[in-house]
Amino acid sequence: MPYWQLFYHLVWSTKHREPLITPDVESIIYELLRTKAIGLGATVFAINGISDHTHVVAAVPPKIAVAKFVGQIKGVTATKFNKMGLPNILYWQAEYGAFSFGAKRLSNYIAYVERQKEHHANDSTIPVLERQSGEVRRLLREPDPIYAVDDEGWREELTAMDDLFALSQNTEPV
């Protein structure tokens, strides 16, 4: 089995930004999303949102394209939810946002998603993480870092990540 660490912050909205994710059905929708994502081999770290859009932080395996992953979890969730006979009908917009990031920032993305309602109530959202469609913007390129073969900070970071992974798996570091 290959080793991978591919972390994504995913966001999409309901069709026409209708407030379809009401408090009485929110947990049902999020559980359907989580179940399908796990069924596709993902690890889900956080799911949350407000009445008109949803954020997901997940590690998506390389065997499935991000576009297919998002399409599958959105489609299956809406289909299963709508067959439950509840008064609410769920439809998603076709667009979505997908942002990749490194393991070092995982806790930041989880916290941001877990506090979605608070961020929207306080107008403290991070606009780029709320984007789901629109024109492609030119990415800014950071200045080239100075790479050193004997960069101990880099080595310590990677070693610590491996140690944490081993602890979570109840195994010894490699």
Strand order, beta sheet including 97-101: 43-50, 53-59, 7-13, 97-101
Quick: pLDDT tens for 103-161: 989 999 999 999 999 989 998 888 888 877 765 555 566 666 665 555 667 667 767 76
Query: Per CATH, which fold does 7-130 belong to?
Result: Alpha-Beta Plaits (3.30.70)
Quick: pLDDT tens for 75-88: 999 999 999 999 88
Q: Enter the pTM of the model.
A: 0.78
DSSP codes of every residue in 132-156: -SSPPPPPPPPPPP---TT-HHHHH
- C-alpha distances in Å from residue 165, one per residue of 15, 62, 108, 135, 173: 39, 19, 18, 38, 8
Domain residue ranges in the chain: 7-130
